[in-house]
Amino acid sequence: MADVSNEKHLSFKIDKTADHEKIVKVARAFASEERLAILKFMLNKSVSVSMIANELDMPISSVSRHIDVLSDAGLIVISYQPGLKGHTKFCAQAVLDAKISLDAKGLENKSKSFIVEMPIGMYSDCNIDAPCGIAGKDDALGTFDDVKLFYTPTRALAECLWFKSGFISYLFPSPPLAEKTERHRISFSLEICSDTIYYNNDWPSDITVKINGAEVITFTSPGNFGGKRGKYTPQYWPVNCSQFGQLKKISIDADGVYLDNVFQHKKLTFADLHLFDDEYIKFEIGVDRNAVHCGGMSLFGKNFGDFDQAIIMKIS
């Protein structure tokens, strides 16, 4: 017979990312005096929705909403029993306690990661083709489709940049010498999509990522997204132009390459990148001029698109 005793005790760890969604649901469930009263009323017994409503003098519609929140958090179980007018909803306590651990040791391990956020305009090199352009937080920066703009100091203010094909590269600082032997995984996360005139949600583009000159992965962006304003896209930017991208994460460890935490291949590993041979790590991203889907590239910073970040490198 299976041991189900642990099912009566909820236990989460704040340093475990997989637990965060559950923690939020449990916290929301407890963040209401009415839901706490409902939990107290049903301790050690099964009660119907109408019984709760009568006992606590609450509308049945309100009780039903609270019950749904408690059930979603896993604090109660819902069952249905035949009644005179169809089926009656009954609720019962599902757990005896809930614990959220703030384990300092676990948080200390997390803090050892070496993290750098690079503004998208701080690239060190590029070789791109028009159509292209750069936009800042407050206004467009220069003339669209002028490749020379990508070589001016103005580029440092970029919050959105785009081009048809070619590449753009960044030099990230290497971790301190004393910590290099402890690192076994590197990841880059950034908001990106295809590029075309105005926008087209169905506009594939093959985007290639290189690290220290080694081709890590080519993935296909499904489109150039618009039609509604991005969460951080400034008001001056026309809504019928590209508004936001997808948050993509490329990771490499001893086992191989991952895209959005899904394993892709083992043709390249962490050791193959020779990350610590120099004082910098080169990150390059672009669209090959001979790509099957040469659909351009749009890159978003902290003040543009749907995600409050630029390009983040994490070495752990």
Indicate which CATH number applies to the domain containing 281: 2.60.120.260
Q: Which of 232, 241, 228 is nearest to 137 (CA)?
A: 232
Do 157 and 243 belong together in one domain?
yes
Rounded distance between C-alpha atoms, residue 230 and residue 227, angstroms: 9
Indicate which CATH number applies to the domain containing 25: 1.10.10.10
Do 293 and 153 belong together in one domain?
yes
Phi-psi region of 264 (alpha: psi -120 to 50; beta: other; left: phi over 0): alpha
Rounded distance between C-alpha atoms, residue 110 and residue 72, angstroms: 29
pLDDT digit string (tens) for 60-93?
999 999 999 999 998 988 887 776 666 788 888 8
Which amino acid, residue 274? H
Whether residue 195 contacts residue 225, with contact meaning beta carbons closer than 8 Å, is answered with: no
Do 245 and 132 belong together in one domain?
yes
Whether residue 257 contacts residue 265, with contact meaning beta carbons closer than 8 Å, is answered with: yes
Tokens of 23: 């923690």
Residue 180 has pLDDT above 70, yes or no: no
Of 101, 132, 147, at which residue does a domain stop? Answer: 101
pLDDT of residue 192: 97
Do 150 and 251 belong together in one domain?
yes
Q: In b/e form, how buried is each residue of 87-114, taking b as 16+ CB within 10 angstroms?
A: eebbbebbeeebeeeeeeeeeeeeeeeb
Q: What is the mean pLDDT of residues 212-220?
A: 97
pLDDT digit string (tens) for 191-211?
999 999 989 999 999 999 999
Do 132 and 213 belong together in one domain?
yes
Residue 6 has pLDDT above 60, yes or no: no
Residue 254: DSSP 8-state: T
pLDDT of residue 5: 39
Rounded distance between C-alpha atoms, residue 136 and residue 155, angstroms: 9
> Is 245 inside a domain boundary?
yes
∠ Cα 135 140 145 (to 5°):
80
Rounded distance between C-alpha atoms, residue 245 and residue 225, angstroms: 6
| Domain that includes residue 275, residue range | 112-315
Q: Where are the beta strands (DSSP E) in 114-178?
A: 114-118, 125-135, 160-173
> Is 106 inside a domain boundary?
no
Domain count, the chain: 2
Q: Which of 142, 48, 133, 44 is nearest to 87 (CA)?
A: 48
Rounded distance between C-alpha atoms, residue 157 and residue 141, angstroms: 8
Question: Rounded to 5, what percent of the chain is helix, strand, coil?
Answer: 25, 40, 40
Do 127 and 227 belong together in one domain?
yes
Of 55, 81, 101, at which residue does a domain stop? Answer: 101
pLDDT digit string (tens) for 138-169?
999 999 999 999 999 999 999 999 999 999 99
Burial of 316 per CB tally in 10 Å (0-12, 13-18, 19+): middle
pLDDT digit string (tens) for 263-298?
999 999 999 999 988 999 999 999 999 999 999 999
Whether residue 315 contacts residue 185, with contact meaning beta carbons closer than 8 Å, is answered with: yes
Do 83 and 118 belong together in one domain?
no
∠ Cα 247 123 173 (to 5°):
85
Task: Give the residue with greater pLDDT, 48 vs 158.
Answer: 158
CA neighbours within 13 Å on the CB side: how many for 42? 27
End-to-end CA distance of the chain: 41
